[in-house]
Every structure is written in structure tokens, then in C-alpha cells.
């Protein structure tokens, strides 16, 4: 059989198998599990420049391309849920995935260091991005998650931390991949990627489509599995990374991203509603829809790439829109758009062998248009400069101070400092402590929302949120096959912003509450038990308290994970890779959740049919557990998570 015919045969086989079967999840190659988290692993997000973990004074987690490939994560939300201490919830009405680091949804999400957050804000709390708008995982080389304030390096929104998605550069050899799967409830996924290089050019292109007819959930009241009507979705995506090498020390990169999504809006499960305007309102809409669109591009000039402190200039344009068609409620079509454009510059210098300086400047302008739901058209802009100095005090001690100055067109100038110490015991252990100030400006909805029909009003007199965060941590390679990491944090936010509903007047307004306190800790252990078996376990604790003016602190009842648990059991032999993954939470408030705790189990099986052809099976929520991650006071269980579902597929590389 010729090589060409063999490729055609494998492609046909993958298409036929992917179209005819159904199932859903996976979680890490045990033979390489520890190698990916050794202290000599290099990360870039915590310090904005490549730095070994052993010299990084931050709580950092990494999701590699291998993790994504072997787990067949459907989207960014599913990938992040696998990380200890990270929570992802789905906002009501808008069906938006919101990530929380250290229990805080004030999180910056970036692609190759480019800010993806909207200045409008999402539909819930302080979040600035809907994870559903990230187009694809097929082009991702790794995801770096840094917990703890990063306001000095990344500015407003980086209160809980930063997630940096680092994309793949096209390989030297030509390669294409087709991944096709289908599963429960009419779910179908198609993903195509192709990469290569020619002389000084390289490219990596992806295109995909995901759709599902409906979802099912387990009713906690009756124990029955029910179909959620109007829960369909249809998502299309495209990404392009094009690189041009200019010389040994400089290059150009073009990034393009597109995503469109059309979905039904079930809002709440049948049988639930809320009391508003003096009566009960049914929330189970049968015909309402949501449309999302994202079109981004960026051009980056890289220089000094032959040094350990490279620099870049970047110009970018990010466009996101969301349209909600309120058919059943009678309000008609409402749409907002968020168009951000910006310029970033960063450079670095090694003053001497023990002193490394990073400096940068940013300019960003966003036009936010909110038609119907809020009805405003406003511009927000921010200019910033930052400076960080990594000082090697000895073979063991590293001290890293930093400072940032932001000038916001509505709130003037703000300076945020930071400082951290890292102690490297030896090549197998380090400890650190870091402190940083917080700055988070109100978003456009907070300031300009004006909707008398729904009695919702923004507040142009809001003050920015300020405060500080302290993080301490310890990492230890206990043996060649076992590693341990721990961290703890405390965060105080003053003038925290929150929307409040007054049941007496039925009016919703936004205000600065006095203070918000968060504290918690994490511990994670990874161990390769043998050539076949490995295990990783994690625990996280989180406490959140809010203080109203002239009142005491009150525990936040919306905390979906006061105690969080993760466990992964991995089996790898010859062509087989099998993974079992458990997620749990305890200590939740029964006024807002149906249960104080839950366990959810996912599993997956990979089988390498040939070196370039893999078949996989995923089963999510194996026990069909009834649980929810989005709280609802008085209507616990209104936002149920998906019941047991399966996915089966094949991935072919040629």
C-alpha cells in the first residue's frame, strides 16, 4: 500500500468512526507527569520573562499540550477544572463560563501575553471574560496559571491571578491532524489543524465546529434524569499563527482568532423562578437565543530573541459581541459589542550577572456599545508603564521588586508596587513569599448601565477597588518519582464593587462595599508509583468574607468550593492510556446549594491504533451525580450541571 493511500485510509477510518459513535474526558501521561512540573521547568507569565520555577516566587500551575491532547478537553473551561484550586462556574442567562483563582473572578486571561478581557465585564460579579469565547485548544502549546495578584505586571483585573495561553509555532515538518468525535445528546465535534514551515515562514492553522442538540441533568428533587429544553449550541472557530523569521534575533508574528456561537438560553431549570416586582416570574424560556462573535488579530515584532531577555512591540485589535433575543419575555433583541485596540512594548536588560530588569508600556482603548440592555456607547482608555528588577542576592536568595503606574481616563493615576523573595534550598526545593498591591477599575456596565424598564442603574461615582495580596509557598521534589507543592494566601480588597437588589423598591444598583477578605491554602502531591501507575491528589481551602459599611464581616454563602478535592489515577501500558479523575467539594452553604458537598467522577481511555491514529472514549459524571456550581439563594438547584454523558472519537495525524 502506498503512503498516500495509507493516509487516505486512515483519514476515512477516523471520519467513519467519529461520525458513528458517541462519548466524554482524560487526564495526563503518567510517564511524563513529574517531568512537566520539575523545578527547572521554565515559565514566562509570573515574571513576564522566562524563569525557572525554582526562582519563581508565585503559585504556578501548567497545563501542557500533552495534557490537552490526552484528555481531549472540549474547551478551556474543562481544561482549567482539572487544576487544583481552580473553579469554573457557568453564569445564568448568558451561559458564560467564569473562572476563579483564589476564589476571585477578577482574573486576566491572555493569549501569548495579549489581554483578552473585556472592559464591559461579563454577566456575573467582577469577571471580565467568558471562557467560551476562546476559540480552540488545538493551537495551544501550554497554559500557565498564576494565582495571586499580578496587578503590577498586568494591571486592572489581575486581582485573583493570570491565565496565559501560549500558542504553538508551526513545526519544521508538514503535519495535519483531524479529530472527530460524537456523543450524548447529539454532540458532535470536528477539529482540523495543519502546520509547517517554508524557508523563513512557519504557520499553524486550526478550524473547528462543535454542536449539541440538548443536555440532560439529574433532578435533585425527584432523582429523575430530565432533558433541558432550549439547551442546544452550535460553535465554529478558526485560528491562524503566522511567523516570519527576519534574522537570528528578530521575527514577526501574526495571530488571528475567530469564534461564533449560537445557543439556546434555558436560563433556569423547569420549576424554578424568582420573586421580583412583587410576584413569581417563570424563567424557563423555550425560544430565547444567544449569539456570540469574536474576531481578534495581533501583529508582534520580536527582538533580542537570541538573549535571555527578549523584547517585543505589539499592536492588537480584539472584537467581541453578544446578542440576546428575548422572545418569551417580549423584550426583543439586545446586543453589546466590546472593541479593544492596544499597543504593548516590553524590553529587558541584564545590568550585571546578578541584576535583570524588565520594563514595559501599554496603551489600550475600548469602545463599549450596549444597545437595549443598558443602552450606552462609551470609550475607556488606560495607559501604563511598569518596571521589575530581579536581583540575585546569593546562590539561594532572589529578591524581585516591581512597580506599575496606570493612568485611567476616568480615575486618573494609580501606582501599584510589589515585592517577592524566593529561597532556593537546592535543585529539589524552593520557598517564596510575595506581596502586591491591587488595583481594579469599574467596568463599563458598572458605570453606565441605565435600564429603567428593569430598574437597573449603574453608578458613575464608583471608586476603583484597591487592596493587597500576600502569598507564601513551598515546592519540594521528594524523590525522583514524587513531588509536593503547597501555598497559602491572604487577600484584602477595599471598596469592593457589587450589584445589590432592593426587594422593597425592586431597584438594582451598584456600589462600593467596605471590604472583602479572602484567605486559603493548597497542597498537591504527584507520584509515579511504577512504570504503569501514577497518581496526583490535591486539596484546597477557601474562605471569603464581605463587609458592608458600618457592619461586621459576613461569610460569603456563594462560595462553591470552601473545601476542594482533586484526585487523578493514571494507567499507561503499551498502546493503552486510562485515566480516572475525581472532583469534590464540601462545606457549601445549604441556603444557596442543594448539598453541602459532592463527588463527581470522570474517566477516559486512549488506545493508539497506530502511531498516528488514536481512538478515545470519555465518560463524564460517571455516577450521574446531581450537583450545581452556580449558587441561587432560595432556588437551590436552578442551575444544574450536566448529567452522565459520553463521547467517542478518533484522532489522525498525517
pLDDT digits (tens, 9 = 90+) for 374-404: 789 999 999 999 999 999 999 999 999 999 9
Digit-coded pLDDT (tens) for 105-137 = 999 999 999 999 999 877 777 888 999 899 999
Over 70: is that where the pLDDT of 138 sits? Answer: yes
Higher pLDDT: 572 or 455? It is: 572
Q: Which of 114-123, 181-190, 333-342, 609-618 has the lowest mean pLDDT?
A: 114-123
Q: Report if residue 525 sits inside a domain.
A: no
Nearest alpha carbon to residue 422 among 14, 131, 1, 57? 57
Report residue 456's pLDDT band, with 50, 70 and 90 as the boundaries.
confident
Higher pLDDT: 372 or 279? It is: 372
User: What is the residue range of 260's domain?
Assistant: 3-520+554-559+607-653
Look up residue 133 and give its three cell numbers.
Answer: 469565547
Report residue 405's pLDDT band, with 50, 70 and 90 as the boundaries.
very high
Whole-number percent of the chain with pLDDT over 90 = 67
Q: Report if residue 305 sits inside a domain.
A: yes
Report residue 17's pLDDT band, with 50, 70 and 90 as the boundaries.
very low
Q: What does the DSSP assignment read for 39-98?
A: TT-EESTTTSS-EEGGG--SEEEEEEHHHHHHHT-SSHHHHHTTSTTEEEEE-TTT--EE
Report which listed range, 146-150, 207-211, 445-449, 554-558, is most confident. Answer: 207-211
Look at residue 454 in the predicted model and tell me its pLDDT: 76
Q: What does the DSSP assignment read for 537-566?
A: EEEEEEEEEEE-TTS-EEE-TT-S-SEEEE
Q: Return the sign of the alpha-carbon dihedral for residues 488, 494, 500, 502.
A: positive
Residue 169 burial (CB count, 10 A)? 17
Q: Report if residue 599 sits inside a domain.
A: no
Look at residue 281 in the predicted model and tell me its pLDDT: 47
SS3 content of the chain, % helix, strand, coil (to 5): 10, 55, 35
Look at residue 275 in the predicted model and tell me its pLDDT: 41
Contacts of 593 (CB under 8 A, 6+ apart): 560, 628, 631, 636
CB-facing half-sphere around the CA of 209: CA atoms within 13 A:
4
The answer to whether residues 59 and 603 touch, using CB atoms and an 8 Å cutoff, is no
Over 50: is that where the pLDDT of 601 sits? Answer: yes
Over 50: is that where the pLDDT of 29 sits? Answer: no
Look at residue 94 in the predicted model and tell me its pLDDT: 53
Look up residue 371 and give its three cell numbers.
Answer: 444597545
Nearest alpha carbon to residue 631 among 83, 13, 85, 125? 125
Report residue 373's pLDDT band, with 50, 70 and 90 as the boundaries.
low
Over 70: is that where the pLDDT of 25 sits? Answer: no
Q: Report if residue 435 sits inside a domain.
A: yes
Q: What is the rounded CA–CA span in Å between residue 567 and residue 565? A: 7
Look at residue 551 in the predicted model and tell me its pLDDT: 87
Q: Report if residue 587 sits inside a domain.
A: no
Q: What is the rounded CA–CA span in Å between residue 356 and residue 358? A: 7
Nearest alpha carbon to residue 545 among 522, 514, 521, 523? 514
Read off the pLDDT of each residue in 358-379 and give the average, rounded to a whole number: 90
Q: Report if residue 566 sits inside a domain.
A: no
Mean pLDDT rounded to a whole number for the chain: 87
Read off the pLDDT of each residue in 56-64 and give the average, rounded to a whole number: 88
The answer to whether the pTM exceeds 0.85 is yes
Look at residue 209 in the predicted model and tell me its pLDDT: 96
Buried/exposed code over 373-405 (b: 16+ C-beta within 10 A; e: otherwise): bbebeeebbbbbebebebebeeeeebebebbbe
Over 70: is that where the pLDDT of 20 sits? Answer: no
Q: Report if residue 601 sits inside a domain.
A: no
Look at residue 16 in the predicted model and tell me its pLDDT: 34
Read off the pLDDT of each residue in 420-436 and give the average, rounded to a whole number: 93
Over 60: is that where the pLDDT of 10 sits? Answer: no
CATH number at residue 339: 2.40.170.20
Over 70: is that where the pLDDT of 276 sits? Answer: no
Run of H or E residues at 32: none
User: In degrees rounded to 5, what are phi and psi of residue 151?
Assistant: -60, -30
Q: What is the rounded CA–CA span in Å between residue 34 and residue 527? A: 7
Buried/exposed code over 320-354 (b: 16+ C-beta within 10 A; e: otherwise): bbbbbbbebeeeeebbbbbbbebebebbbeeeeee
215-218 and 553-555 beta bridge pairing = unpaired
Q: What is the rounded CA–CA span in Å between residue 445 and residue 370? A: 9
Look at residue 14 in the predicted model and tell me its pLDDT: 37
Look at residue 110 in the predicted model and tell me its pLDDT: 93
Look at residue 506 in the predicted model and tell me its pLDDT: 84
Over 80: is that where the pLDDT of 11 sits? Answer: no
Q: Report if residue 266 sits inside a domain.
A: yes
Higher pLDDT: 151 or 127? It is: 127
Is 40 exposed, middle or buried (CB count within 10 Å of its CB: 0-12, 13-18, 19+)? exposed
Domains of the chain: total: 1
Buried/exposed code over 143-152 (b: 16+ C-beta within 10 A; e: otherwise): bbbbbbbbbb
Over 50: is that where the pLDDT of 277 sits? Answer: no
Look up residue 211 and give its three cell numbers.
Answer: 454542536
Over 70: is that where the pLDDT of 7 sits? Answer: no
Read off the pLDDT of each residue in 286-301 and give the average, rounded to a whole number: 93
Read off the pLDDT of each residue in 32-42 and give the average, rounded to a whole number: 53
- Three-class SS state of 265: coil
Report residue 91's pLDDT band, with 50, 70 and 90 as the boundaries.
low
Amino acid at each position: 500500500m502506498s503512503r498516500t493511500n495509507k493516509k487516505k485510509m486512515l483519514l476515512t477510518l477516523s471520519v467513519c468512526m467519529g461520525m458513528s459513535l458517541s462519548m466524554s474526558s482524560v487526564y495526563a501521561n503518567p510517564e511524563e507527569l513529574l517531568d512537566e512540573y520539575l523545578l527547572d521547568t521554565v515559565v514566562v507569565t509570573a515574571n513576564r520573562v522566562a524563569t525557572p520555577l525554582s526562582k519563581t516566587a508565585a503559585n504556578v500551575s501548567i497545563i501542557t499540550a500533552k495534557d490537552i491532547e490526552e484528555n481531549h478537553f472540549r474547551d478551556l473551561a474543562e481544561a482549567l477544572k482539572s487544576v487544583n484550586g481552580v473553579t469554573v462556574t457557568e453564569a445564568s442567562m448568558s451561559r458564560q463560563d467564569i473562572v476563579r483563582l483564589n476564589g476571585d473572578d477578577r482574573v486576566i486571561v491572555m493569549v501569548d501575553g495579549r489581554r483578552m478581557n473585556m472592559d464591559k465585564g461579563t454577566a456575573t460579579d467582577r469577571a471580565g471574560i467568558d471562557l467560551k469565547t476562546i476559540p480552540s485548544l488545538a493551537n495551544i502549546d501550554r497554559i500557565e496559571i498564576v494565582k495571586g495578584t499580578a496587578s503590577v505586571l498586568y494591571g486592572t483585573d489581575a486581582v485573583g491571578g493570570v491565565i496565559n495561553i501560549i500558542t504553538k509555532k508551526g513545526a519544521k515538518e508538514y503535519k495535519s491532524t483531524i479529530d472527530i468525535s460524537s456523543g450524548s445528546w447529539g454532540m458532535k465535534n470536528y477539529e482540523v489543524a495543519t502546520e509547517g514551515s517554508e524557508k523563513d515562514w512557519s504557520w499553524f492553522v486550526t478550524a473547528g465546529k462543535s454542536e449539541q442538540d440538548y443536555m440532560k441533568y439529574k433532578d435533585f428533587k425527584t432523582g429523575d434524569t430530565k432533558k433541558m429544553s432550549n439547551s442546544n449550541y452550535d460553535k465554529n472557530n478558526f485560528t491562524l499563527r503566522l511567523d516570519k523569521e527576519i534574522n537570528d534575533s528578530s521575527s514577526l508574528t501574526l495571530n488571528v482568532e475567530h469564534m461564533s456561537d449560537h445557543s439556546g438560553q434555558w436560563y433556569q431549570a423547569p420549576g424554578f423562578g424568582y420573586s421580583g416586582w412583587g410576584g413569581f416570574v417563570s424563567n424557563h424560556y423555550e425560544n430565547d437565543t444567544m449569539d456570540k462573535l469574536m474576531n481578534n488579530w495581533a501583529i508582534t515584532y520580536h527582538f533580542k530573541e537570541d538573549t535571555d531577555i527578549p523584547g517585543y512591540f505589539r499592536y492588537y485589535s480584539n472584537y467581541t459581541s453578544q446578542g440576546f433575543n428575548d422572545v418569551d419575555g417580549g423584550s426583543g433583541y439586545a446586543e453589546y459589542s466590546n472593541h479593544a485596540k492596544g499597543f504593548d512594548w516590553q524590553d529587558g536588560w541584564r545590568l550585571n550577572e546578578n541584576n535583570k530588569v524588565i520594563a514595559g508600556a501599554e496603551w489600550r482603548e475600548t469602545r463599549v456599545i450596549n444597545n437595549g440592555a443598558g443602552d450606552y456607547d462609551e470609550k475607556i482608555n488606560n495607559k501604563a508603564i511598569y518596571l521589575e528588577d530581579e536581583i540575585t542576592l546569593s546562590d539561594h536568595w532572589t529578591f524581585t521588586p516591581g512597580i506599575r503606574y496606570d493612568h485611567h481616563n476616568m480615575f486618573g493615576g494609580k501606582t501599584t508596587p510589589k515585592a517577592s523573595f524566593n529561597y532556593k534550598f537546592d535543585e529539589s526545593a524552593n520557598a517564596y513569599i510575595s506581596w502586591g498591591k491591587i488595583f481594579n477599575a469599574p467596568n463599563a456596565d458598572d458605570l453606565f448601565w441605565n435600564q429603567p424598564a428593569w430598574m437597573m442603574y449603574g453608578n458613575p461615582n464608583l471608586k476603583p477597588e484597591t487592596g493587597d495580596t500576600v502569598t507564601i509557598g513551598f515546592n519540594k521534589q521528594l524523590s525522583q518519582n514524587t513531588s509536593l507543592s503547597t501555598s497559602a494566601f491572604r487577600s484584602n480588597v477595599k471598596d469592593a464593587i457589587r450589584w445589590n437588589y432592593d426587594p422593597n423598591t425592586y431597584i438594582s444598583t451598584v456600589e462600593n462595599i467596605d471590604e472583602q477578605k479572602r484567605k486559603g491554602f493548597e497542597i498537591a502531591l504527584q507520584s509515579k508509583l511504577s512504570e504503569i501507575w501514577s497518581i496526583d491528589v490535591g486539596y484546597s481551602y477557601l474562605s471569603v468574607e464581605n463587609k458592608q459599611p458600618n457592619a461586621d464581616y459576613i461569610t460569603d454563602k456563594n462560595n462553591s468550593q470552601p473545601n476542594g478535592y482533586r484526585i487523578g489515577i493514571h494507567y499507561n501500558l503499551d498502546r493503552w492510556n486510562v485515566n480516572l479523575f475525581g472532583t469534590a467539594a464540601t462545606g457549601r452553604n445549604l441556603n444557596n446549594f442543594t448539598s453541602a458537598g459532592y463527588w463527581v467522577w470522570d474517566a477516559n481511555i486512549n488506545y493508539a491504533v497506530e502511531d498516528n491514529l488514536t481512538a478515545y472514549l470519555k465518560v463524564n459524571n460517571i455516577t450521574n451525580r446531581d450537583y450545581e456550581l452556580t449558587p441561587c439563594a432560595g432556588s437551590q438547584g436552578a442551575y444544574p450541571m450536566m448529567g452522565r454523558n459520553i463521547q467517542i472519537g478518533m484522532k489522525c495525524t498525517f
